[in-house]
Structure 1
Amino acid sequence: MKIFTIILFFTSLSYSQITKNNWLVGGSGNFKTTKTEKLSDGTKPYDDRTIFSISPNIGYFFYDKLAGGISLSYTYDNIFEDYQYFGVGPFVRYYFLNSEKRINIFLQGNYNYYEGGSKTVDGNDNGKFHNNGYGFKAGSAIFLNSSVAVELSLDYISNKLNSTLREETFMIGVGFQIHLEK
Structure 2
Amino acid sequence: MYKINLKNALKTFLVLSICLFFENAYSQTAKGYWLAGGQAAFSSDRNDDGGTVLNRKIFQASPMSGYFFINNLAGGLRTSFRYTHLSSSENYTSFSAGPFVRGYFLPVERKVNLFAQADYMYENQVKANIYSVNAGPVIYFHDNVGIEFTVGYSVSAYKGTPAQYRTLQSGIGLQIHLNKD
Q: Which TM-score band applies after superposition, normalised by the shorter structure?
A: 0.7 to 0.9
- Give the TM-score, by structure 2 length: 0.79
Corresponding position: 1:166 with 2:164: yes
CA contact (8 A) 1:10 1:145 kept: no
CA distance in 2, matches of 1:66, 1:96: 9
Look up the match of 1:152.
149
CA contact (8 A) 1:53 1:75 kept: yes
Residue 68 of structure 2 aligns to a residue in which SS? Answer: strand
Look up the match of 1:72.
79
Identity %: 38
Corresponding position: 1:109 with 2:118: yes
Look up the match of 1:133.
130
Structure 1 gaps, min length 5:
1-6, 36-44, 117-128
CA contact (8 A) 2:114 2:136 kept: yes
- Give the TM-score, by structure 1 length: 0.78
Displacement of 1:64 after TM fit?
0.3
String of CA shifts for 1:100-129, please: whole Å, max 9, x gaps: 22110000000001111xxxxxxxxxxxx3
CA distance in 2, matches of 1:131, 1:90: 15
Runs of 4+ in 1 over 3 A off after TM superposition: 7-12, 45-49
String of CA shifts for 1:76-101, please: whole Å, max 9, x gaps: 11115122211000000000001222
Look up the match of 1:61.
68
Corresponding position: 1:88 with 2:97: yes
CA contact (8 A) 2:45 2:167 kept: no
What is the aligned length? 157
CA contact (8 A) 2:45 2:168 kept: no
CA contact (8 A) 1:108 1:137 kept: yes
CA distance in 2, matches of 1:100, 1:155: 25
State the Cα RMSD in Å: 2.3
CA contact (8 A) 2:45 2:165 kept: no
CA distance in 2, matches of 1:165, 1:48: 13
CA distance in 1, matches of 2:61, 2:22: 28
Residue 144 of structure 1 aligns to a residue in which SS? Answer: strand
CA distance in 1, matches of 2:34, 2:85: 35
Structure 2 gaps, min length 5:
1-17, 47-51
String of CA shifts for 1:38-58, please: whole Å, max 9, x gaps: xxxxxxx64664210110000
Corresponding position: 1:97 with 2:106: yes
